[in-house]
Every structure is written in C-alpha cells, then in structure tokens.
A = this chain, B = another copy of it.
Amino acid sequence: MSTSVQETVPKRRVAIIGGGLVGALAVLYFAKRGWQVSLFELREDLRVPENKKNLSHRSINLALSARGLSALKRISLGLDDKILEHVIHMKGRMIHLGEGKLKSQLYGVFGECIHSVEREILLELLLNTAATFTNVKMYFQHQFKRCNFDDGILEFENKKTGNPFQDSADLIIGADGAFSAVRTQLMRVVRMDYSQEYISHAYLELTIPPRVNDKDEEEFAMDPNHLHIWPRHSFMMIALPNRNKSFTCTLFMPFENFDALKTEDDLMEFFRKYYADSIPLIGEDQLKKGYFRNPRGSLMSIKCKPYHYKDRAVIIGDAAHCMVPFYGQGMNCGFQDVEMLNGIFEEYEISAVQSSDKLALALEEFTKRRHPDAIAICDLAMYNYIEMRSSVVKPWYLLRKRIEETLYWLFPTRSIAPLYTMVSFSTMRYSEAVQRWKRQGFLLNVIGVSILTTVTAASIWIGYYRF
C-alpha cells in the first residue's frame, strides 16, 4: 500500500475511557501507533492551575519500579528520563522495630531501587505529552454513561454543562479504574467471571512534616531513601518520602481496631505502645487531628476474565485487575498492560488505518496472556501484606532471604532470584515469577534446614549449648 493511499484513508478511532495514569499512557501508545485517539475523563484537567485545589490527596504514594519504567521507556518519548528527575529513590525497607530501633533491609543485592513518585507529577507529564499529538483529543469532566460495543456508540454526560455527549469509536479501551463502568457494560455482552474481595483492613493517611535543621533548612525527618515500615503483626504503618521533604504515612489495620480508638487518649496510648518513635515526627497535635479527621479507605482485590469483547473493546489497569497496594505494583502492572497490548498489536500487525480480522484475535490474546499475570500479582500483593506486617521480622524469613540473596549475588544469571527482585526489578511475566518462586522455595527450605542443622551440631560440638 502506498503512502498516498494511507493518507487518504480515515484513521481508525480509539476511545479511551479514564484519564488516570494507565489511560493517559494508553493514549500515548495509541497516538504513536497512528490511531485517532479520544480520551474521556470524569475529573477536571489537573494541568489547569485552579483545578489543583480540588484534587483529592487521599491516595497511597506510588512506587515506580522496573515494569512501569520499561513501559515509559518503550514508547521512546523520553518519559522515563523525565520522570526519574522527579522521584526519590528507595533502596530498601527501614524496619522500625520498636523502642526506636531501626534496621535496613535492602531491596536489591546490586543496589536496585524503587522510586517514590507523586501521582500528579507523573500524570501531568503524560497528559502534557499527549497534548503534543495532533491525533489526540482530550475531554475532561465527561462521565461515561453507556455504550453499544457493536456499533461503537458511546454516551457521556458533560458534567460542566449537564448536557449529554455522544461519540463513536472503532475500539473502546476501559481504563476507568476499580469501579469501571466500561467493565459493567462489558458484563452485559460477555460471560464475565468476576470477583471482588475486600480485606478486613482499612487505611488512613498521616503526614510527617519536614524538620528544620540547625541551618534553618527544611530536611527529611527520617532517611528518605527507604520505605519505612512499622510491622506489628496484625497491623502496620508505612511511610514514603515526598519531594517536599515530608513523608506520607499510611496506617493499615482492621476496621474494628480503628473503631476501638475512640478518644485522643486511646489514640495516644496506642501510638505510644506501637509507634512511639513516630509521635515526635508527626507531632502529637497533628497526629490527633489527622487521625480523627482524615478519611479511612477500604482495600480490595478484583479479578475478572475475559478483558475483551470481540474486536470492539478491552479493559486495562485497575478496571481489569485491582490489587491491594502491598507490592507497590498497581500502577506498574497497569503500565505493563499497555506495553503488552502494544506488543500484541505489533505481533498481529494491527493497523491504525484499516480494520483487520486480526484485531479480535489480538484482544483475545491479550486476555489469554495477561490474565494469569494479573492473578499472580493480585495474589502476591495479598501475600506481601502478611510479609510486610509480620514476616519481615521473623528469623526463618530472614535466613531464607539471606540465602536467596546470596545465591542470586553469586549467580545473578541463574534462575534463583529473590521474588522481590523478579517482581520489582525485572519485567518477566508475573506468572513466571511466581512459578520460579515456588520452585526455588523448596530448595531454599532444604538449604535453610541444612544450615540450621550444621550450626546447631557445631554449637553442640564446641560446647555452646550444654544439656
């Protein structure tokens, strides 16, 4: 096909519902592939200065890691380099053991880091980049109402004017989050297996402000290059650094424990018992205010299948799989969805100009390939909650971790890699990471038991233990 013909054929149109991080990245990928892209977002455009004050600040900080960076890099718009200028590197967990004792656990044996990033900055970068494409139209304050997938008609309400708005598209992408309306529409036309499960824990955010040092400069009140954790078995607190030298703390515990702290005295007694070192950092007054004023959020896990309908629609990001935040993979996984979908479009040679019989196959392949990965990371995120609030301080966990890391340090190309490394510092499929982890689990237990036996035998022999 000659270029001149291509230019006269109208471009195929994709409607992307949801202008959060994943939707905005999808806009860029489709724009780059040459599609005519329309983005519809319910909220206001956060790039307009007066809208910033309306933003809800209630969200767990984001940890950008290898998968997210890979998706930002692959599109070759320099997004990865640009965002890395605005992040704070976190090289490990800082465990707050109680009585002010601290213990650093590095994430990677070769100094790999995850990156604390502010949602707004990343979203602004993506939307600003989208605005540079002439084949992208962005509609803010447009609420998606319903659609007919087969004829591609979409209905919205313009929340500014209250008027209905209609558009049409050849392909509809649902990136509209955990409570996805596109997914609800999809359920009417496909037999979708779906599950949502709330965990019994809620979360509440508090702030550790910057402290003023001797030179009257603001500085971080704790080491900024760690993700801070106060593991307390059935509950925990974490803190991630912000660029303004504050930390956002998130308290996770069962709803009934939150309810049990009824008075300021209850709260202070609880904090003095479990999070004593954080009280001077947060400030007693701010702690009381924050605890009783800030909203409590609930956390859930969503799995579903399939993600697509014929050659007409596909859901990505939280709309397709919503996970609890304990592996810091929600955004990374959503970004990888976009990268994988793009890769499949390349494999199937899906054109932005001509309709293709292969599009239905490509979308089906996306469901087939991505579903086991989504299940794997949703389950790992749930598992990591136990690890973060409890396992990280247990000797057996620490011994296994040490062995695993030593083996990986000795043989970095072999198949033994710590789970955290596979999830956060590689782009290997989540499902593969889980399979490897299960395989090597047995081996690690064997080595662990051998070491313990040897140490015990040696201790008895040298008379360390006396019976």
Q: How far is the CA of A194 from the CA of B193 in the complex (A)?
A: 11
Interface residues as binary, A172-192 with B (CB distance below 8 Å gives 1, 0 otherwise): 000000000000000000011
Within 8 Å by CB of A196, from B193, B197, B198, B300, lies: B193
Question: Taking beta carbons and an 8 Å cutoff, which residues of A are in contact with B?
Answer: 191-198, 298, 300
Closest to A193 in B: B197
Q: How far is the CA of A198 from the CA of B189 in the complex (A)?
A: 13
Which residues of B sit under 8 angstroms from A298, Cβ to Cβ? 191
Residue of A191, A192, A197, A298 contacting most chain B CB atoms (<10 Å): A191
Which residues of B sit under 8 angstroms from A300, Cβ to Cβ? 191
Within 8 Å by CB of A198, from B193, B195, B197, B198, lies: B193
Closest to A196 in B: B194
Which residues of B sit under 8 angstroms from A191, Cβ to Cβ? 198, 298, 300
Which residues of B sit under 8 angstroms from A194, Cβ to Cβ? 194-196
Q: How far is the CA of A126 from the CA of B196 in the complex (A)?
A: 35
Which residues of B sit under 8 angstroms from A195, Cβ to Cβ? 193-197
Q: How far is the CA of A196 from the CA of B191 in the complex (A)?
A: 10
Q: How far is the CA of A148 from the CA of B194 in the complex (A)?
A: 26
Which residues of B sit under 8 angstroms from A193, Cβ to Cβ? 195-198
Which residues of B sit under 8 angstroms from A196, Cβ to Cβ? 192-195
CB<8 Å pairs between A and B, sample of 15: A191-B198, A191-B298, A191-B300, A192-B196, A192-B198, A193-B195, A193-B196, A193-B197, A193-B198, A194-B194, A194-B195, A194-B196, A195-B195, A195-B196, A195-B197
Which residues of B sit under 8 angstroms from A192, Cβ to Cβ? 196, 198
Which residues of B sit under 8 angstroms from A197, Cβ to Cβ? 193, 195
Q: How far is the CA of A323 from the CA of B196 in the complex (A)?
A: 18
Q: How far is the CA of A42 from the CA of B191 in the complex (A)?
A: 23
A50 to chain B, nearest CB (A): 30
Q: How far is the CA of A460 from the CA of B407 in the complex (A)?
A: 59
Q: How far is the CA of A197 from the CA of B193 in the complex (A)?
A: 5
A143 to chain B, nearest CB (A): 16
Q: How far is the CA of A198 from the CA of B193 in the complex (A)?
A: 6
